[in-house]
């Protein structure tokens, strides 16, 4: 039973309840960081870390947090984890930290994290909340990485900084700019929802 619940929570966040394409949350960072694969990976790893641990911590404290200051406590927890991510990047991978600039700090405002803390961690035990946070983070990460893959490929002709397109390829500058992310995200949602919906219809 417990195993089945863990599995359901995990798979839902990756698929049907995916924070990006089903709930359409965390869009600002989707637009901002997905033009280069390397930055996207570091940013999404940060989000996975913060979502998982903040969910876990909020859940541990859920019985003692007074409901009046609930959101303040959640923000404090999330902000602390984000600052820890930023300090770690600064100390261990300073080059990537320099490239990401203000985006790491902006993880604090990512609505997925607060959303999961409010909707899940406050009413569920710590273990399953950790799984939910982890899955939401991974659900967010893989969508962004797919978008970043195509944006970097079409916008810069490179993958992970390595030139893969030949000299015949003209870079689509718009793919590197925020509008390119809108197009890619919309196409992605269109395809995935189309597939998921037909699947659901068949089931019913």
Partner 1 sequence: MKSRFWKERIFPVVFMVAVTVVFISVVSGIYLSTRDMVKLNESLFLKRAVLYAADITVPGKGAAVDKVYRSRVRERLDSEGLVNHFEILEDNEISGYAVFAGGPGLWGKIEAVIGFTEMRDKLTGVEFIKQNETPGLGARIAEEWFKEQFRGKMGPFVLVPEGTAQAEKEVNAITGATRTSNFVLEIINQSLEDIKEGEWPKLR
Q: Which residues bind partner 1 (CB under 8 A)?
A: 33, 35-36, 39, 61, 64-66, 68-69, 72-73, 76-77, 80, 83-84, 87-88, 90-92, 94, 98-99, 101-102, 151-152, 155-156, 171, 173, 176-177
Q: SS3 letters for 35-99?
A: CCHHHHHHHHHHHHHHHHHHHHHHHHHCCCCCHHHHHHHHHHHHHHHHHHHHHHHHHHCHHHHHH
Residues 6 or more apart in contact with residue 202 via CB below 8 angstroms: none
Q: How far is the CB of 88 from partner 1 (least distance, A)?
A: 8
| 10 φ/ψ angles, rounded to the nearest 5 degrees | -65, -50
CA distance 89 to 84: 9
CB nearer to partner 1: give 6 or 174. 174
d(CA 74, CA 52): 13
By CB atoms closer than 10 A (0-12, 13-18, 19+), residue 101 is exposed
Q: Give the nearest distance from C-beta 177 to partner 1 in angstroms.
A: 7
Rounded least distance, CB 190 to partner 1, Å: 24
Q: How far is the CB of 25 from partner 1 (least distance, A)?
A: 22
**Least distance in angstroms from the C-beta of 24 to partner 1:** 23
Judged by beta carbon, residue 179 or residue 194, the one nearer partner 1 is 179
């Amino acid at each position: 039973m417990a195993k089945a619940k863990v599995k359901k929570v995990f798979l839902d966040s990756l698929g049907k309840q995916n924070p990006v394409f089903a709930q359409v949350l965390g869009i600002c960072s989707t637009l901002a960081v997905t033009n280069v694969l390397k930055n996207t990976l570091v940013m999404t790893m940060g989000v996975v870390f913060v979502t998982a641990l903040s969910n876990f911590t909020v859940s541990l404290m859920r019985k003692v947090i007074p409901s009046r200051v609930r959101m303040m406590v959640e923000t404090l927890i999330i902000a602390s984890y984000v600052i820890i991510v930023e300090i770690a990047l600064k100390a261990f991978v300073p080059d990537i930290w320099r490239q990401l600039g203000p985006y790491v700090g902006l993880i604090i405002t990512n609505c997925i994290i607060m959303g999961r803390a409010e909707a899940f961690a406050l009413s569920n035990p710590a273990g399953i909340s950790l799984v939910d946070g982890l899955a939401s983070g991974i659900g967010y990460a893989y969508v962004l990485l797919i978008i970043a893959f195509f944006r970097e490929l079409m916008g810069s002709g490179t993958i992970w900084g390595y030139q893969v397109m030949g000299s015949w390829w003209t870079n689509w500058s718009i793919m590197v700019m925020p509008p390119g992310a809108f197009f890619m995200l919309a196409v992605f949602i269109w395809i995935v929802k189309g597939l998921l919906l037909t699947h659901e219809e068949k089931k019913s």
